[in-house]
A and B are shown apart, each in its own frame.
Chain A
């Protein structure tokens, strides 16, 4: 390479792009249920499975899921993990967080990644490993003011 004046530079910028996504009729109804402290699932005509979050169609049978069921708000922990690091958008005051997948009673799948466990001093790691176990029973705790999104369930607390 011909002569250079200084070391290669880096250029910083913020990428900011606005997006607005349509929820679609199924998820609109699912989140309306949250406003009324209800967890709604849908049932597949073909395989009979009840899935939460509610779906427009069954991922395995590919049939429409048109039967709505109000499901229990208690379940068992399938798996959990203790999050202890930050990245852009997550500040030290936002961690730790205990993410978990929960199998609600009467539902044929786990909840996926939007459920968190709390209700005690989760900053105490030793206490966390004692209380949070695969198979433990948990119950939903709702936020007082609900807006119809996944944050309406504040956390899931362990039922001793």
Chain B
């Protein structure tokens, strides 16, 4: 097992060693953490991500309070009951809030500028956090003016699917 990781470790070391902290006048020691992880998705999220691979967005419904939550959950956070009813949700919804991210940090998943929004899909009782895009984001003033006119968005799928949340590329204004 250590052999396999040594190879990965050498490849990835280069990427993190490119990163430089601002210079300091006192003595420091650089100590990066490079650690392997392997997370279990569990049955619920496995099924949810399988749905994304097929361009379907699944939510689950609580039989007690009747709320429909997305992403699909194992249990309802309010009632603590298992959520066993799976519902395929429409891929359109309204924008509850949004924010233009315009600064960089190490390990960012997307190169700025990008918009993160809370999208209330039709039929869901909670909002989903995801990207809003499909138009020019280079001028913050233009973005603000455009987002003022946006009320509804629709999912746009990535061409290549990996069974993760980025199978939805972004939500585009309609």
Q: Would A and B touch once assembled, by the CB under 8 A criterion?
A: yes
B46 touching A8 by the CB < 8 A rule?
yes
Pick the interface stretch among B33-41, B62-70, B111-119, B166-174: B33-41
> Do A9 and B2 form a contact, CB below 8 Å, given A2-B84, A17-B33, A20-B29?
no
Binding stretch for chain B, among A45-53, A64-72, A83-91: A83-91
State how many residues of chain A have any CB contact under 8 Å with chain B: 33
B28, closest chain A residue (CB): A20
Chain B: CB-nearest residue to A7: B46
Verify if B9 is at the interface (C-beta below 8 Å from A): yes
- B55 at interface by CB-CB < 8 Å: no
Number of residues of chain B lying within 8 A (CB) of chain A: 45
Q: Report Cα–Cα, A100/B37, bound state, in Å.
A: 31
In the assembled complex, the CB of B21 is this many whole angstroms from the nearest CB of chain A, namely 5
Interface string of B107-142 (1 = CB under 8 A from A): 100000000000000000000000000000000000
A157 to chain B, nearest CB (A): 27
Q: Are B36 and A2 in contact (CB under 8 A)?
A: no
CB proximity of B10 to chain A, nearest CB, Å: 11
Q: Which of B2, B21, B35, B46 contacts A15 (CB 8 A)?
A: B35
Would you call A90 and B46 a contact (CB within 8 A)? Answer: no
Contact A17 B32 (CB under 8 A): yes
Q: Residue B160 at the A interface, CB < 8 A?
A: no
Given the complex, which residues of A lie within 8 Å of B21, measured CB to CB?
A: 18, 20
Stretch with Cβ within 8 A of B (4 or more), from A21-29, A36-44, A117-125, A132-140 = A21-29
In the bound complex, how far is the Cα of B41 from the Cα of A4, in angstroms? Answer: 13
Interface residues in chain B, defined as those with a beta carbon under 8 Å from any beta carbon in chain A? 1-3, 5-6, 8-9, 12, 15-16, 19, 21, 24, 26-47, 49-50, 82, 84-86, 106-107, 163-164
